[in-house]
């Protein structure tokens, strides 16, 4: 048993975690980037002042910052308690302990909240949901999807995954998805069907190992680009 969640939770990671989860280089951070399902991550908030061009989309952005914070606070203790109850399922290399993880998630949420209203006005946080996003073809150079696709394989079926990834490839030159494990720490059953579909559509899809691992065994991302 790893993590039981009835629905997708608004849990956000930092810019440094995004860099490590997606093997982002300085050149990548200079691209126009879409963050799909960015929720209360602080990737956009931390990267924008450094010159990156990031658009984050998430259905949760229909809510006010106070409401997103309240949803986060509702799930925080349960998640940390589940992590503490399953010590064998987690790798404490990046975060040193469940308490450190909790602190990091609160920090990310606070940075996100400080940026949220102005970012919304600037169009950097847009309310939208996979599998249909409101952007013209090839708007972005890089699309990132962290802790939504594959992770919630029980809640979203293979058809949803295929439609979502096809949509990300329509609007972005390259797509990276992390992690490839489900909440139950099993490889998502949709990885192979997705790789096959990407090849059928004329893309190259490869699995890369990254330098970030919190879920045990969760240190791989899927990288998809044109041939």
Ligand X SMILES: C[S@@+](CC[C@H](N)C(=O)[O-])C[C@H]1O[C@@H](n2cnc3c(N)ncnc32)[C@H](O)[C@@H]1O
Which 145-204 residues touch ligand X, going by CB under 6 A? 146-148
Judged by CB under 6 A, the stretch of 9-17, 47-55, 111-119, 184-192 that binds ligand X is 9-17
Residue 37: CB atoms within 10 A of its CB come to 24
Provide, rounded to whole angstroms, the least separation between the CB of residue 108 and ligand X.
7
C-alpha 77: how far from its chain's center? 21
Among residues 174, 171, 173, 224, the alpha carbon closest in space to that of 200 is found at 224
How many residues bind to ligand X according to rule CB under 6 A? 19
Question: Interface with ligand X includes 218 (CB under 6 A)?
Answer: no
Which 121-150 residues touch ligand X, going by CB under 6 A? 129-130, 146-148
By 3-state DSSP, what share of the chain in percent is helix, strand and coil, each rounded to 5?
40, 20, 40
Judged by CB under 6 A, the stretch of 8-16, 80-88, 93-101, 209-217 that binds ligand X is 8-16
Provide, rounded to whole angstroms, the least separation between the CB of residue 192 and ligand X.
22
Question: Interface with ligand X includes 8 (CB under 6 A)?
Answer: yes
Q: How far apart are CA 16 and CA 38, in angstroms?
A: 14
Under 8 Å between Cβ of 58 and 37? yes
Question: Interface with ligand X includes 36 (CB under 6 A)?
Answer: yes
Task: Please identify which residue in 2, 3, 11, 190 interacts with ligand X, judged by CB under 6 A.
Answer: 11
Kindly state the tokens that stand for 185. Answer: 């720490």
In three-state secondary structure terms, 211 is coil
From residue 128, alpha-carbon distances to 70, 81, 112, 119, 124 in Å are: 20, 31, 18, 15, 12
Q: How far apart are CA 12 and CA 107, in angstroms?
A: 9
Question: Interface with ligand X includes 9 (CB under 6 A)?
Answer: yes
Judged by CB under 6 A, the stretch of 22-30, 32-40, 88-96, 166-174 that binds ligand X is 32-40
One character per residue 38-57, x = contact with ligand X (rule: CB under 6 A)? xx-x----------------
Provide, rounded to whole angstroms, the least separation between the CB of residue 85 and ligand X.
19
- What are the φ and ψ backbone dihedral angles of 202, each rounded to 5 degrees? 95, 20
What is the binding site for ligand X (CB under 6 A)? 8-13, 36-39, 41, 58-60, 129-130, 146-148
């Amino acid at each position: 048993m790893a993590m039981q969640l009835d629905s997708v939770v608004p849990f956000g990671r930092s810019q440094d975690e995004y860099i490590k989860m997606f093997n982002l280089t300085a050149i990548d951070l200079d691209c126009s980037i879409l963050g799909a399902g960015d929720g209360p991550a602080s990737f956009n908030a931390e990267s924008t002042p450094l010159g990156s061009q990031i658009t984050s989309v998430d259905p949760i952005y229909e809510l006010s910052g106070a409401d997103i914070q309240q949803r986060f606070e509702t799930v925080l203790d349960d998640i940390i308690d589940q992590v503490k109850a399953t010590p064998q399922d987690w790798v404490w290399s990046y975060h040193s302990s469940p308490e450190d993880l909790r602190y990091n998630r609160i920090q990310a949420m606070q940075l996100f909240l400080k940026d949220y209203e102005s970012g919304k006005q600037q169009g950097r946080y847009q309310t939208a949901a996979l599998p249909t996003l409101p952007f013209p073809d090839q708007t972005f150079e890089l699309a990132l999807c962290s802790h939504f696709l594959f992770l919630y394989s029980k809640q979203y079926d293979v058809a949803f995954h295929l439609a979502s990834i096809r949509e990300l490839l329509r609007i972005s030159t390259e797509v990276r998805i992390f992690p490839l494990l489900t909440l139950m720490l099993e490889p998502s059953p949709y990885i192979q069907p997705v790789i096959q579909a990407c090849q059928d559509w004329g893309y190259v899809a490869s699995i890369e190992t990254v330098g970030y691992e919190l879920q045990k065994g969760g240190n791989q991302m899927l990288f998809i680009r044109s041939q």
